[in-house]
Amino acid sequence: MATGRTHRPATRSRGIPEATVARLPLYLRALTALSERSVPTVSSEELAAAAGVNSAKLRKDFSYLGSYGTRGVGYDVEYLVYQISRELGLTQDWPVVIVGIGNLGAALANYGGFASRGFRVAALIDADPAMAGKPVAGIPVQHSDELEKIISDNGVSIGVIATPAGAAQPVCDRLVAAGVTSILNFAPTVLSVPDGVDVRKVDLSIELQILAFHEQRKAGEESEADAALPPVGAHGAGSAAAAAEATGSGVSAQAPAAVPTDAGATTAAPAAAGAGSGTGAAAAASAGAGRKGPDGDVPAVMPA
């Protein structure tokens, strides 16, 4: 593998920035809501507000798709819904399989937004024989032995992994071998996939940790300097609407802004520890002496 350092001619894709692609679903949702209310047109300002972004960004995003608006007026809701749907590939049907029908898998299977927008749950797969045949969300669970057959029979190219961490990689490998080229991973593991396969991950634990980081900062700031922000006792600021005004003002800064959900995707972890491990138990000697750390104790952070 190695070879060049994966320079890659850079973000191919017709040129729509990833950041923009990630926001299209947001716009689409807001537009769909407007459409349902039969609103004929929206301005970038209004739509941006509904989608939770600022209008300049929205206009820039749309500019990558083409010129679908009308100066002095705004955007035609229906037309834009169509254009974005098409751009996202939602005008076609995407059969998906969900592997791992535990609590989470069942929740995903029942998730309404799943069926809408072109996604169709082609099958629910679980390794537990006892689950086989049991209907979840109206769909009978199938045993994982069938995985390959299901994938090819249905032309599935998107797989959702909701298995325990340990089973994720093996399942992923099988999915990929069977032809899946896009994976949504809910298991707390870094998946290694061949080039050309996309992986996106959703990780509760990571999200919480990011929140904790900011939460900790807030707490520290209280006493430090600016008091304004977190108003004592309970109750958070009141200003809710305040921010309104649009653009400027509010903003707020400490907004998480944009944080990668990431996706080791494609490139994927190359060597990924792979070998090694052989070490096995051994080294009960515990870890390093008290390195620079004045504290040898070390925390806890119990593993999952």
Partner DNA sequence: TCGTGTGAACTATTTCACAGCA
Partner DNA sequence: TGCTGTGAAATAGTTCACACGA
Q: Give the nearer residue to DNA in terms of CB position, either 24 or 168.
A: 24
In angstroms, what is the minimal distance from the CB of 34 to DNA? Answer: 13
149 scored as a contact of a copy of itself (CB under 8 A) = no
Residues 6+ apart with CB under 8 A from 70: 41, 76
- Dihedral angle at the C-alpha atoms of 280, 285, 288, 289, nearest 10 degrees? 180
- Residue 151 contact partner, candidates a copy of itself, DNA, none, CB within 5 to 8 A by sort of partner: a copy of itself
293 scored as a contact of a copy of itself (CB under 8 A) = yes
Q: Helix, strand or coil for residue 141?
A: strand
- Residue 72 contact partner, candidates DNA, a copy of itself, none, CB within 5 to 8 A by sort of partner: DNA
Q: Give the nearer residue to DNA in terms of CB position, either 21 or 107.
A: 21
Residues 6+ apart with CB under 8 A from 31: 42, 47, 77, 80, 81, 84
One residue of 32, 35, 55, 154 binding DNA per CB under 7 A: 55
One residue of 32, 68, 148, 266 binding DNA per CB under 7 A: 68
192 scored as a contact of a copy of itself (CB under 8 A) = yes
Asked whether the beta carbons of 136 and 74 are under 8 A apart, the reply is no
Q: Give the nearer residue to a copy of itself in terms of CB position, either 138 or 248.
A: 248
249 scored as a contact of DNA (CB under 7 A) = no
Q: Helix, strand or coil for residue 233?
A: coil
Give 50-59's long-range contacts (Cβ < 8 A, gap of 24+).
51/23, 51/26, 51/27, 52/26, 53/23, 53/26, 54/246, 54/247, 55/246, 55/247, 56/247, 57/23, 58/23, 58/27
- Residue 284 contact partner, candidates a copy of itself, DNA, none, CB within 5 to 8 A by sort of partner: a copy of itself
Residue in this structure with the two tokens 């798709």, named with its chain if needed:
65
* Tokens matching residue 23: 């926001």
Phi/psi at 24 (nearest 5 deg)? -55, -45
Q: Which of residues 1-40 bind DNA (CB under 7 A)?
A: 5, 7, 10-11, 17-20
60 scored as a contact of DNA (CB under 7 A) = yes
In this structure, how many other beta carbons lie within 10 angstroms of the beta carbon of residue 51?
22
- Residues in binding contact with DNA, number by CB under 7 A: 35
String marking each residue 66-105 x if it binds a copy of itself according to CB under 8 A: x-x-x-----xxxx-xxx-xxxxxxxx-x-x-----xxx-
- Residue 214 contact partner, candidates a copy of itself, DNA, none, CB within 5 to 8 A by sort of partner: a copy of itself
One residue of 39, 63, 245, 298 binding DNA per CB under 7 A: 63
Residues 6+ apart with CB under 8 A from 120: 93, 94, 95, 96
217 scored as a contact of a copy of itself (CB under 8 A) = yes
169 scored as a contact of a copy of itself (CB under 8 A) = no
